[in-house]
Chains A and B, each alone.
Chain A
Amino acid sequence: MMREKSYARGTHPDLPPPVSEVGLIGWCRKNLFATPADTIFTILAVYVLYIILPGFVQWAFIDAIFVAANRAECWELMESPGSAACWAFASVRLNQLLYGFYPETEIWRVNLSFVFLFVAISPVLFDKVPFRKPLFIFTALYPFIAGWLIFGWFALPPISSQDIGGLALTLIIGVTGIAFSLPLGILLALGRTSDLPVVKILSVVFIEFIRGVPLIALLFIASTMLNYFMPPGTTFDLLVRVLIMVTLFASAYMAEVIRGGIAGIPKGQVEAANAAGLSYWKTMYLIVMPQVLKISIPGIVNTFIGLFKDSTLVLIIGMFDLLGMGKAALTNLNWAGLHREMYLFVAVIFFFLCYGMSLYSGYLERKLDTENKFQKK
């Protein structure tokens, strides 16, 4: 027996999905209560949040003291000493946390280069920026402009790199490392995949050496030994040496990420480019690298974030980045004992900067998606 159909054969229209598939109820059912195990985990997670969150909010916000001259004053304002967070140190020592010992009258120079940084990276990050082409010229000049502003030279009083610290130092190391490790990493990856034996061997040796040595060891080399390798009389600023080492370190990792991407591009792509008469460099620039960089975005951003956080290691050789400045604040009698607040403060700043990079990489991956499904060949 045939069931009677609601529509004649061949005339069935598209109907809206049942309520359980869409809307809030559908979402909850699919994501939170799909299976008994899911339900148990959902309930467990809600319970854990219930235990942790109210106490934390009470400590960090509701009972917290935001304005005070020092820790003692902070704690007097609480029910019992240390029962709530004392964020006063962040505002009192804000300048040191942001700029280190940069002379206060010159701080505008750091701020200005920070503003310029956004102008310089905007045409790199987004393709619909107005005046994108002329902005690229500014991007190319930015390292010199920022160097001039921050360290001083013609018309600006010079500032010793020893005085630069805090978040500014973190950003200088992070941005420099990110900007130079990607191109250097691409060249190293191309070198490692090259047919020319000398280029290949040099790249492999460089990558394996740098990857095989801890960053801290490289930083010690930068601070103590690098002068021995240079012609006598040349002096290099410590910060410049650190920047070089951090960049080299990140570029070795970057090279391996890029090499993985190159291996993921079907051989037919290079063959098609070659068959059309494109030279090696044009093939790499036009065909291979755009695809490699796209599929390597997660790995590249991973390396960027790692590099950014590794910048805190400069503490070891006597430079004070954001974390270093926070620790320095703790050694001051006025603020000693606020470990929780200080580390949380630094952690939150790092988190937002790194999470920002992560969000951008997600945006980029979605933007570059061209629905490509490579033939399994």
Chain B
Amino acid sequence: MAKKPTGENVIRIEAMHKWFGNFHALKDIDLEVAQGEKIVICGPSGSGKSTLIRCINRLEEHQQGLINVHGTDLTSDLKDIETIRSDVGMVFQSFNLFPHLTILENCVLAPIWVRRMPRKDAEEIAMDLLARVKIPEQALKYPGQLSGGQQQRVAIARALCMRPKIMLFDEPTSALDPEMIKEVLDVMIELAGDGMTMLVVTHEMGFARKVANRVIFMDEGEIIEENDPETFFNKPKNDRTKLFLSQILNH
């Protein structure tokens, strides 16, 4: 288990609530994330874990409470939202690469159009990152020509091209065939080693043990339990946590 970084907080969530119509999806969430911290969020489906990280870059709008990312409060101010989004990278369960663009174009799009980076510089950074996720030779192919694991690694490289300060992962390995999960997790572990601040929604408990500073268990829109991975897996306190762990670990 990694040691918990003591840097200043980069995300601060206080008394945050979120509703979908009448459905109370997130209830009174408090969460502080320190610079360089790696947090794994788990819980049964429908527990609100994806919604929580999607609130951090405003893919979902919260109705009550406060979310502060890097000193900027998330309100309906479009400029603030775009600033936060360009500093927060996100990796999705279904990759969401742009199918009409090549791998390289996928990577340089946001740096060029959001950061106004010259194309040459953007391509240099992109090729560098594609090498780090070990697929530089695929740069000129289209996403449809790549395997799922390769696509997800491209998605990680694409997010990193924006030089984000925080990375959000929304079940990054759930849509992958078993033999491809490891190649994606390896990239994420390497990224964690570089000191990136990461919030990861996943059921990969091996990854949580290895990388996380903190594991958060959510159920029915609430944070039920949070602890360091050692304590979380070996001595869970809450009954719902125990039930959940027994369901995902014993098969």
Contacts and interface: CB of A to CB of B under 8 A. Distances in A.
A278 B113 contact: yes
B174 to A, nearest CB: 11
Contacts of B94: 266, 268, 375, 377
Interface string B141-178: 01111000000000000110010000000000001000
A54 interface: no
Nearest to B112: A286
A243 B95 CA distance: 45
Given A277-B86, A278-B113, A375-B175, A272 B145 contact: no
Of A269, A276, A375, A377, chain B has the most CB atoms within 10 Å of the CB of A276
Contact of B85 (A266, A276, A286, A290): A276
Interface string A245-281: 0000000000000000000001011011111111100
Given A276-B162, A375-B175, A370 B100 contact: yes
A294 B114 contact: no
Nearest to B158: A276
Contact of A271 (B59, B83, B110): B59
B145 A290 contact: no
A79 interface: no
A277 B110 CA distance: 7
A144 interface: no
Given A269-B96, A269-B98, A372-B99, A275 B85 contact: yes
Contacts of B113: 278, 282, 286
Interface string B77-109: 010001101101110111111111000000001
Contacts of B162: 276-277
A238 B165 CA distance: 61
A370 B109 contact: no
B202 interface: no
A268 B96 CA distance: 6
A291 B175 CA distance: 23
A284 to B, nearest CB: 12
B99 A277 contact: no
Nearest to B57: A275
Count chain A CB atoms within 10 A of each CB in B96, B142, B158 and give the residue with the most: B96
A271 B114 contact: no
Given A372-B144, A377-B94, A276 B99 contact: no
Contacts of B92: 268, 271-272
Contacts of A272: 90, 92, 96-98
Given A282-B113, A372-B144, A275 B98 contact: no
A364 interface: no
A371 interface: yes
A277 B85 contact: yes
A372 B99 CA distance: 6
Interface in A338-377: 368, 370-375, 377
* Centre residue among B92, B97, B99 by max chain A CB count within 10 A: B99
Contacts of B89: 275
Interface string B107-136: 001100110000000000000000000000
Interface residues of A, number: 26
A274 to B, nearest CB: 6
Given A372-B143, A372-B144, A373-B144, A274 B96 contact: no
Contact of B100 (A268, A274, A277, A294): A294
Contacts of A171: none
Contacts of A294: 100
Nearest to A377: B94
Contacts of A279: 78, 82
A271 B86 contact: no
A373 B85 CA distance: 28
Given A277-B110, A372-B142, A291 B96 contact: no
A371 B98 CA distance: 12
B151 to A, nearest CB: 9
A287 interface: yes
Contacts of B144: 370-373
Contacts of A291: 98-100
Given A275-B57, A276-B86, A374 B96 contact: no
Contacts of A275: 57, 59, 85, 88-90, 159
A268 B98 CA distance: 10
Contacts of B85: 274-277
Given A271-B59, A275-B57, A374 B110 contact: no
A101 to B, nearest CB: 48
Given A268-B94, A278-B113, A370 B99 contact: yes
A279 B81 CA distance: 10
Contacts of A277: 82-83, 85-86, 110, 114, 162
Nearest to B88: A275
Contacts of A276: 85-86, 109-110, 114, 158-159, 162
Interface of A: 266, 268-269, 271-279, 282, 286-287, 290-291, 294, 368, 370-375, 377
28 contacts: A269-B96, A269-B98, A272-B96, A273-B98, A275-B89, A275-B159, A276-B109, A276-B114, A277-B82, A277-B83, A277-B162, A278-B110, A278-B113, A278-B114, A279-B78, A279-B82, A286-B109, A287-B98, A290-B100, A291-B100, A368-B100, A370-B100, A370-B144, A372-B99, A372-B143, A372-B144, A374-B99, A377-B175
Interface of B: 57, 59, 78, 82-83, 85-86, 88-90, 92-100, 109-110, 113-114, 142-145, 158-159, 162, 175
- Please give me the 5 A-B residue pairs with the lowest Cβ-Cβ distance, nearest first: A277-B86, A372-B99, A272-B96, A276-B110, A268-B96
Given A276-B162, A370-B144, 4 more contacts: A268-B94, A272-B96, A274-B59, A375-B95
